Structure 1
């Protein structure tokens, strides 16, 4: 990482996790989400689980094309255990699944499709416009009523002119990690994308999450190619219906252009 997390009470937490061996990880305060210092933003644990899914019995020439993460309960800031297994393995595709547990309770589940990379003569189809240019450095961003000293501070955010987390969507943001996912270990393109993906609906706050209870129950990340570089861009919007639910959809770009999509189901309820 080119930047370290700004000095502060948790300045020593220069990663989201520290490996304890045997599939166990210690969560640092950098994982804390915007709603509580005791529970994690879903981005880092999604990336931790996705990293295990792509590394499990990895096969040369295969890549993760889609990951769906289920969020049955909040992930506490504490020790986590990662477990992964192969569901089906074929000549060209394979399905793997995994879970994160805390004190024996399952706090996150995921399934991923890994598939053989396409041939070099596959046409490059890019129906979407390129993202806006990466803005210059910005002051740290805030969010109304949020805990700011965890995940929000551990990421660098660059919004377009006149935009921030509290601007009603649709929204666009460029972001990158200030710290690695696991201390002393390199990030992967998939883990960087998953670290950011759960922020998709927060980039497009179009439902009043202060007046109502709004929370996502899942994250689907589909990548038609590997993201490149540290900086990723989300362009997100939200659909919702009375007596229904919300749906946040985002396009994921890097500095080379379109690389994937993000989809999140949103529970909308009264407080």
Structure 2
């Protein structure tokens, strides 16, 4: 399978002393001077993994709170080990600029062990979408700074589906780890689950990624599996896939935004 990519080596952030300085393509779709929220979740995942990850522990949950929009400013990420038990480790991250705290994250790591015997009463099935074999989607008002293949069209009724692949390093020339890759892809749960036929009317305030395992390759498939909204408040959920099957879920909460994004 040969996939075309427009990737270049320019990372989203450059580490200078203790600060992460954003590149121009780190901006989000809502405003040209706003950092993309998916990158903040990725930075939190990176910091927690580097400082608190362990080979015998599985990252099982990452919750990212995006409670303040940030302009394109240098970012710092501080972490705290909250709990270190025999079967569980919990770590927090605080994401800041010189204007103050812009987000926070909490991760739960669980000890791997023997899989229980027996048959589960419910198992999420693998989706029926083959990996992409052509170039990623390009064009439109805001070009995603990652490779994106739309399996379903924007605004079509029913569950939205996409394949994604990171095309830039997150920091300097560091490889994007499977956990960071999942954290970056998880933010796409909001536009995929909260889209309407005339565009995206909700901007997410957080997301919670849960993982049974880590993705095995560069491609991550995202499938919208639920949306509810009332009085301008929404919640959406997606299932995350790789080329071998489903590996996790993501749940988001979102608030109505006066200026919708995209549309036809």
Does 2:116 align with 1:128? no
Find the partner of 1:230 among 204, 211, 218.
Answer: 218
| Comparing 238-247 and 182-191, the one that deviates more | 238-247
Find the partner of 1:261 among 214, 229, 249.
Answer: 249
Alignment partner of 2:45: what SS? helix
* Separation in 1, partners of 2:222, 2:159: 10
Contact persistence 1:245–1:266 (CA under 8 A):
yes
Tell me how far 1:192 sits from its aligned partner: 0.5
Q: TM-score, with normalisation over the residues of structure 1? A: 0.84
Alignment partner of 1:82: what SS? strand
1:201 aligns with: 190
Contact persistence 2:147–2:164 (CA under 8 A):
yes
Contact persistence 1:36–1:147 (CA under 8 A):
no
Find the partner of 2:167 among 153, 178, 183.
Answer: 178
Find the partner of 2:11 among 15, 20, 32.
Answer: 15
Question: CA deviation digits over 1:155-199, x for unaligned, max 9?
Answer: 111122xx3345455200001011111122121111001111111
Tell me how far 1:18 sits from its aligned partner: 1.2
The structure-2 alpha-carbon separation of the partners of 1:200 and 1:241, relative to structure 1 and needing over 3 Å to count, comes to closer
Contact persistence 1:4–1:14 (CA under 8 A):
no
Q: Tell me how large the CA RMSD over aligned residues is.
A: 2.5
* Separation in 2, partners of 1:179, 1:100: 21
Tell me how far 1:114 sits from its aligned partner: 1.2
Alignment gaps of 5+ in structure 1: none
Contact persistence 1:35–1:147 (CA under 8 A):
no
| Count of paired positions | 255
* Separation in 2, partners of 1:266, 1:155: 23
Alignment gaps of 5+ in structure 2: 260-264
2:146 aligns with: 155
The structure-2 alpha-carbon separation of the partners of 1:122 and 1:219, relative to structure 1 and needing over 3 Å to count, comes to farther
* Separation in 1, partners of 2:99, 2:24: 21
